[in-house]
Amino acid sequence: MKIEGRHTVPAPQETVWQRLNDPSVLERSLPGVERLEPDGPDRYRASIKYKVGAVSGSFSGSVELSEKNPPHSMRLKTSARGVPGFVTGEGKLELVPKGAETEVVYSGELQLGGLLAAIGSRMVESAAKKSIEDFFKSLASS
């Protein structure tokens, strides 16, 4: 499933870059994340509780930041597994300065398995878009 979009964060590019690279900000901003711990350079272990439709559960996963081009772009790789299934994803974030604000352009792909795949990509896509919006709202207020 492809995910792409853009969101404007009311902060300068450098500030947005710093927030995206701060584990404590990410832990507070990523929906469902209960714990985010360093697991090497630009790599984190995550504990997540999440619900999509009637499917909910706890997941263990990882987040990895790579191909960093400060403060312009980076790649993101995620994976999470739990009783309800698994999700893996890869994507790119581009930070575009717009005066005192920053437009974050994102694109990527998600792969689902288990019950998550069974509930249908339409529902999962809708939940993913809402989570992304919630993430950027939280990031803006950090």
- How confident is the model over 96-121, as a mean pLDDT? 90
Adjacency order of strands within the sheet including 43-52 = 2-9, 101-113, 85-98, 73-82, 55-69, 43-52, 33-38
In the predicted structure, residue 76 carries a pLDDT above the cut 90: yes
CATH classification of the domain holding 61: 3.30.530.20
Query: What is the average pLDDT across 31-59?
Result: 91
Structural domain containing residue 48: 2-141
pLDDT band with cut points at 50, 70 and 90 for residue 128: confident
Start-to-end Cα distance in the chain: 29
Number of domains in the chain: 1
Q: What is the pLDDT of residue 125?
A: 82
104-112 average pLDDT score: 94
Distance of CA 68 to the CA centre of its chain: 16
Query: Which comes out higher in pLDDT, residue 93 or 114?
Result: 93
pLDDT in tens, 9-24: 999 999 999 999 999 9
Radius of gyration of the chain (CA): 15
